[in-house]
Amino acid sequence: MIETAEVLERTGGTELRRIVYPERKIASRVSEMGQEITEVYPEDEPLLLVGLLKGSFIFMADLVREIRRPAQVDFLVASSYGSAMTSSGDVQLLYDPEAELADKHVVLIEDIIDSGTTMNRLVPLFRDRGPRSLEICALLHKHIAADLVLEPRWVGFDAPGEFLIGYGLDHSEDFRNLPFIASL
Ligand code: IMP
Ligand code: MG
């Protein structure tokens, strides 16, 4: 259990089980990912990064600054609520990127791949719009998804099967602002 004064101050008194990825570890991995993405695409071909809100907002902000080539940024909002709290597989787009995808190399930026439902719905939708190429970049991958229609080309960390919070990841909208990733 982590119950340092600083953590308790940040969580409003909620104790965390453990810090899974500390700030510095995330920063160095995100920097590597940015370099890898920089090297893959020809400099003169347009690159568009599409972040899935809200979870990817911090990852996206850090990642794009490690990409040392021209790039455009957009976001989308998808919800995957069914009638209950469980992920129903019914993914709805609440905000759709305005950007034209044809001719562009598109990278979907996701915070964490869990069941894979979200990505399995989004990938065909994006493919239909005729991007020059389509890849997934996920900070975390739990590797429990049975069949992903597209395996992420870039994965920050192979995540443990625990519920993770911080660095954009939430539990009922809380804890997104933690600078590290912890398990509840
Ligand atoms: P999937 O569709 O099951 O792959 O779920 C992906 C989404 O579920 C992510 O974008 C997160 O918003 C959420 N999610 C899955 N696992 C976790 C977790 O451990 N902590 C916080 N959010 C999670
Ligand atoms: Mg999310």
Q: What is the CATH number of the domain that holds 68?
A: 3.40.50.2020
- In ligand 1, the atom with minimum distance to the C-alpha of 55 is 12
Ligand 1 close to Cβ of residue 138 (< 6 A): no
Task: Determine the pLDDT at residue 97.
Answer: 77
Please state, in angstroms and as integers, the Cα–Cα distance from residue 21 to each residue in 5, 158, 164, 182, following that order.
Answer: 19, 11, 10, 7
Annotation says 90 is catalytic = no
User: Is there a domain that residue 17 lies in?
Assistant: no
User: Is there a domain that residue 36 lies in?
Assistant: yes
Burial of 65 (0-12, 13-18, 19+ CB in 10 A): exposed
Residues of the chain under the 70 pLDDT cut? 1-3, 80-89
Ligand 1 close to Cβ of residue 62 (< 6 A): no
Contact (CB, 8 A) for 56 and 33: no
Q: How many independent structural domains does the chain possess?
A: 1
Task: Determine the pLDDT at residue 137.
Answer: 98
The C-alpha atoms of residue 117 and residue 53 are separated, in whole angstroms, by 15
Task: Determine the pLDDT at residue 12.
Answer: 92
Task: Determine the pLDDT at residue 81.
Answer: 57
User: Is there a domain that residue 178 lies in?
Assistant: no
User: Is there a domain that residue 15 lies in?
Assistant: no
User: Is there a domain that residue 11 lies in?
Assistant: no
Q: Which two tokens stand for residue 17?
A: 């089980």
